[in-house]
Structure 1
Amino acid sequence: MPPAIFGHRPGKRTSHKLVVDELGQAVVSGEFAVGDTLPGDAELAARFNVSRTVLREAMKTLAAKGLVVARARIGTRVLPHANWNLFDSDVLSWRFNAGVDEKFLNQVSEVRLALEPYAASLAARRATDADIARMMRLAVAMGDGGHSAQTLAKADLEFHLRLLEASLNPFMRTVGSLIEAALVGVFRLTSPTADEAEIDRVAMAHIRIVEEIGRRNEDGAREAMEHVIRVGQERLIQNLRAQEIAR
C-alpha cells in the first residue's frame, strides 16, 4: 500500500526531497488525478511546514519530470500520463510503489529487451579485460548459497549496471537509472526467499553472458542477455499472479 499522501517516510530527507517525494507519489498513485489542480501554495507550505521558496523549487522538479504544469491564475495542474517521464528513476519508483500489473511489467521488460541485449553486444566488442574480469566476479558471486532474495537482487542489479558501463557508451549508463529503478521495483515483487536451485540458475545465466562477452561473441552475448530478461520476466509474472491469488 502506498504511503499516506502527506505522511513522512523513514530516512533523512531534505525539505525539498520530502515535498517532491510525497507530492510525486500522490500524483502517480492517483491521489491527485490527471487534470486535478493541486492545493495552493499557502496550504501546501503549511502542510509540509516548508517555505514557499522550497515549495516552488519542488514544483519545478515535478514539472521537469512531466507530472505537473503551473499556470498563472489557474494553479498547478496534473498532466496526462503521456507527459510523465518514465525514464526518470523517481517517477518509475513511484509507479512501482503505487502498484503494477502484468501489462506494466511487460512494458518494462520490452524496454529492457530493447536496451540491454544491445549493450551486451557492445560490451563483447568494446569491454576491456578488466571489465570482463569484474563482471565475471559479480556473476560468480551471485551463486553464493548464502544469498537471500534481497542480497541476490542487489548482486543482480550491480551486474547489470556494470555491464551497461562496459558497453563504453555513456548513454547506456545514463539509461541505467531506468534499469536500476525498474529492477529495484521488480525485486520488491519477488518471493521473500531464494532457494539454492534458483540462485544457481541465476548465477549460471549471468556467467554465460560474461563468457560470451569474453569470447567477443556479440550475437552470443545478446542472446544470453535476452534469455536472462525473458526468464526473469516469466518468474516475475508467476510471482505476481501467486500474490494476487493469495489476497
Structure 2
Amino acid sequence: MLKAAISGERIRNSHALVVDALGRAIVGGDYPRGSTLPGDFELAARFGVSRTVLREAMKTLAAKGMIVAKARIGTRVTDKSTWNYFDADILRWHLDNGADSRFMTHLAEMRLAFEPYAARLACRHATPKDVEQMLAHADAMENATSLEGFALADLAFHMALAEASKNPFMYSVGALVEAALVTSFRLSSPFGEAARQSSSAAKHRRIAQAIARRDETEAAAAVEVVITEGRDRVGLKLAEI
C-alpha cells in the first residue's frame, strides 16, 4: 500500500483490475448499501474479461464482506458494518477516495488500542536483535534523503515493533499502521524539514530504547506519543482542505 502510494503505480492482472474498480465504486458510493450490482454479462463486457474472471473477482469482494449474492435477486452491496476494515484493499480505497477526519480518528483509535500493548509485549519478549533492528530503522528515518526512504523506514520500524511483540496477531493488523502512514506521507510527512525529521526519528528511537530497558510504561507511552502526534498533524491538514 505504501509503496504504491509513493510510486503511484500498481501492477494488476485482469482479476485485480475488476476487484479494484468495483471496490472503489462501492466505497465511493456509486453502488450504495443494498443496491444491486449490474449483471455478469454487463460487467464482463464493461471490463473486457471472461465470466470466469468476473466470478473470481466477485468471490474476492464477497470475502471482504462487501457484497453478497442472492438467488433470483442478484449481487447486493452489504452494509459497511460487515466490511473487513483490516483488509488492505478496503483501507486503500477509503484513503484514495479521500478519507475524512472521522475515518482517520477511527484509524488512530484502533492503533492506540493495540500498538502500545504491542510495545509492552516487546518489553517482555524482544531479543537484542529486535531492538537493534528498530534502532536501525529509526536511524534510517533520520538519515533518509528521500520521502520514499523516510516513509518506508517509518513503516519498517512499526512492523519491527509488531514482530518484537512475538504475537502473530499484532503483525497481522499491520495494514492499519500502513494506512495511517500512507495518509501521513500524503499530507504531513516530516521529511524535508530537518528539525521535524530528526524529532520524529528521536520519538521512534525512544520506543526502542524503552523496550531495551524492559520499561513497559515508558515504551507504551512513547508509542502513544507517536500515534497521537501523527493523528493531530493529519487532522490539521484535513481541516485546511
The residue that corresponds to 2:163 in the other structure is 165
Distance 2:28 2:95 in 1: 9
Residue 63 (structure 1) shift? 0.7
Residue 182 (structure 1) shift? 3.3
Residue 167 (structure 1) shift? 0.5
The residue that corresponds to 1:116 in the other structure is 115
Following superposition of structure 1 onto structure 2, how do residues 3-22 of structure 1 map, counting pairs within 5 Å? Answer: 11-22=10-21
Structure 1 spans left out of the alignment, 5+ residues:
1-8
Q: Which runs of 4+ in 1 moved over 4 A?
A: none
Distance 2:87 2:238 in 1: 24
Following superposition of structure 1 onto structure 2, how do residues 177-196 of structure 1 map, counting pairs within 5 Å? Answer: 177-190=175-188, 194-196=192-194
Instruction: Give the % identical residues.
Output: 53
1:86-120 deviations in Å (ceiling 9; x for gaps): 11111111011111111111110000000111101
2:107–2:176: 8 Å Cα contact kept in structure 1?
no
Distance 1:206 1:227 in 2: 9
1:37-72 deviations in Å (ceiling 9; x for gaps): 111000100111111111111101101111111011
User: Is 2:68 aligned against 1:69?
Assistant: yes
- 2:69 match: secondary structure: strand
The residue that corresponds to 1:101 in the other structure is 100
- 1:77 match: secondary structure: strand
| AA partner of residue 54 (structure 2) | L
1:120–1:163: 8 Å Cα contact kept in structure 2?
yes
Distance 2:10 2:95 in 1: 19
Comparing 150-159 and 208-217, the one that deviates more: 150-159
| AA partner of residue 190 (structure 1) | S
| AA partner of residue 91 (structure 1) | I
Distance 2:78 2:25 in 1: 13
Q: What is the RMSD of the two structures over their aligned residues, measured on CA atoms?
A: 1.6
Distance 1:188 1:165 in 2: 26
1:133-186 deviations in Å (ceiling 9; x for gaps): 1111111121116343x4322211111011101110011111112322332244
1:165-209 deviations in Å (ceiling 9; x for gaps): 111001111111232233224422326963101101101100100
Query: TM-score scaled to structure 1, two decimals?
Result: 0.90
Residue 21 (structure 1) shift? 0.6
Following superposition of structure 1 onto structure 2, how do residues 1-247 of structure 1 map, counting pairs within 5 Å? Answer: 11-144=10-143, 146-148=145-147, 150-190=148-188, 194-242=192-240, 244=241
Distance 1:12 1:47 in 2: 20
- 1:142 match: secondary structure: helix
| AA partner of residue 26 (structure 1) | A
The residue that corresponds to 1:4 in the other structure is none
Query: TM-score scaled to structure 2, two decimals?
Result: 0.92
